């Protein structure tokens, strides 16, 4: 076991190497009196939330992609460009881009343009999408679910890595020695693959040598450890260098555990009631169990930081994105949870990770002089 390995076999991440981000689905929210606000206000409020995240030192701000009532995140590229003009250092990306129903050439152009206007701050997470609303909306057949993602991922990675591109497939027209503008400097536009727990998706990310982000939105995060191990083994078998693993999970932070529960639970219930996939609202007992033992980060800064540091170490993560303030939580409360995440949770997690790394180094066995490693 190396000086910084945890019992699972993964190295304790160095606090300075870690990325802490915020993810948003841009829910249509309510005001302080519980009245639904106009969707255009949600757009403007989201920009202000990103500006605050930049000001207080959060590493990234990432926008999802949905095409259904209650969400305002269907034009992420436009939103991120607007945010780029108001921010200076924060990385700007997608919580997930549903690549299957996007055109990789257009997506490359938009992403490279965002990277240019933000001075190299763009990143992207590509996924197949757990919601399928975009398939009929843009004229794609769900029967082609796997083929669409596989071929488009292949084309997109070629565009990012090595232009000009010659490519052919079954889901769009071929390219012959094609350059797509604007050009990307080498190493720009970090491209992650977002997966929800499919071994095939984990192996695909490894095959392309792309970093992996796990969407862990229910149950004990430790159950994803086999996927992390599979990913690292697959990377080695495909001959790729080690890549980071990240995690995306839901949460809300308030001054006390009780306040966080009181704010988040009613809005979580509202969100579940509007989502036919979820089969009804969660009970309060289920909600509390997810906080105590699952992947819901709801509580005071100390509660959230302690739980988060533990799961980061268990899974050997290098990135965590908090999908903050689930459901139609008012803008003022969304801003409050961002403040606490940036000013209190992140510094505390870094402190806990540094302490764990130092403790691991102090207790590691020391080889005798002259002994073989």
CATH class of 16-363: alpha beta
Please tell me the predicted confidence (pLDDT) of residue 15.
Answer: 63
Buried b (16+ CB within 10 A) or exposed e, 135-148: beeeebeeeeeeeb
Please tell me the predicted confidence (pLDDT) of residue 14.
Answer: 62
Please tell me the predicted confidence (pLDDT) of residue 275.
Answer: 62
Please tell me the predicted confidence (pLDDT) of residue 2.
Answer: 37
- Which is nearest to 75 in space by CA: 108, 99, 97, 103? 97
- Which is nearest to 94 in space by CA: 161, 156, 186? 156
Q: With beta carbons less than 8 A apart as the criterion, state whether 110 and 156 touch.
A: no
Please tell me the predicted confidence (pLDDT) of residue 12.
Answer: 57
Question: What's the pTM value of the predicted model, to 2 decimals?
Answer: 0.93
Please tell me the predicted confidence (pLDDT) of residue 9.
Answer: 47
**In whole angstroms, what is the distance from residue 167 CA to residue 154 CA?**
9
pLDDT in tens, the chain (373 residues): 333 344 344 565 666 689 999 999 999 999 999 999 999 999 999 999 999 999 999 999 999 999 999 999 999 999 999 999 999 999 999 999 999 999 999 999 999 999 999 999 999 999 987 788 999 999 999 999 999 999 999 999 999 999 999 999 999 999 999 999 999 999 999 999 999 989 999 999 999 999 999 999 999 999 999 999 999 999 999 999 999 999 999 999 999 999 999 999 999 998 877 665 555 678 999 999 999 999 999 999 999 999 999 999 999 999 999 999 999 999 999 999 999 999 999 999 999 999 998 888 887 665 544 443 3
């Amino acid at each position: 076991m190396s000086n910084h390995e945890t019992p699972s076999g993964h190295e304790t991440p160095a606090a300075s190497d870690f990325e802490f981000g915020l993810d948003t689905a841009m829910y249509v929210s309510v005001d302080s009196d519980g009245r639904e606000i106009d969707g255009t206000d949600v757009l403007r409020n989201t920009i202000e939330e990103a500006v605050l995240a930049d000001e207080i030192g959060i590493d990234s701000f990432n926008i999802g992609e949905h095409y259904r009532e209650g969400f305002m995140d269907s034009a992420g590229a436009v939103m991120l460009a607007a945010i780029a003009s108001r921010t200076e250092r924060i990385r700007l990306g997608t919580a997930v881009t549903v690549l299957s129903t996007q055109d990789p050439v257009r997506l490359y152009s938009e992403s490279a343009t965002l990277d240019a206007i933000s001075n190299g701050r763009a990143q992207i997470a590509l996924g197949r999408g757990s919601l399928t609303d975009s398939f009929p909306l843009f004229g794609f057949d769900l029967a082609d679910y796997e083929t669409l993602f596989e071929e488009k991922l292949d084309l997109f990675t070629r565009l990012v890595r090595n232009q000009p591109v010659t490519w052919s497939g079954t889901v769009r027209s071929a390219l012959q020695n094609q350059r797509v503008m604007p050009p990307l400097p080498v190493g720009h536009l970090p491209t992650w693959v977002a997966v929800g727990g499919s071994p095939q998706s984990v192996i695909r990310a490894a095959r392309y040598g792309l970093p992996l982000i796990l969407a862990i939105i229910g149950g004990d995060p430790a159950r994803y450890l086999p996927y992390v191990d599979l990913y690292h083994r697959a990377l080695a078998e495909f001959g790729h260098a080690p890549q980071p693993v990240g995690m995306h999970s839901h949460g809300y932070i308030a001054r006390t555990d009780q306040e966080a529960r009181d704010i988040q639970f009613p809005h979580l219930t509202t969100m579940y009631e509007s989502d036919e996939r979820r089969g009804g609202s969660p009970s309060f007992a289920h909600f509390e169990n997810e906080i105590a033992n699952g992947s819901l980060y709801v509580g005071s800064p100390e509660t959230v930081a302690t739980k988060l540091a533990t799961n980061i170490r268990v899974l050997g993560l290098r990135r965590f994105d908090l999908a903050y303030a689930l459901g139609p939580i008012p803008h003022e409360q969304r801003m409050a949870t961002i403040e606490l995440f940036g000013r209190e949770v992140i510094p505390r997690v870094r402190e806990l990770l540094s302490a764990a790394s130092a403790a691991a180094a102090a207790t590691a066995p020391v080889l005798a002089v002259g002994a073989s490693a």
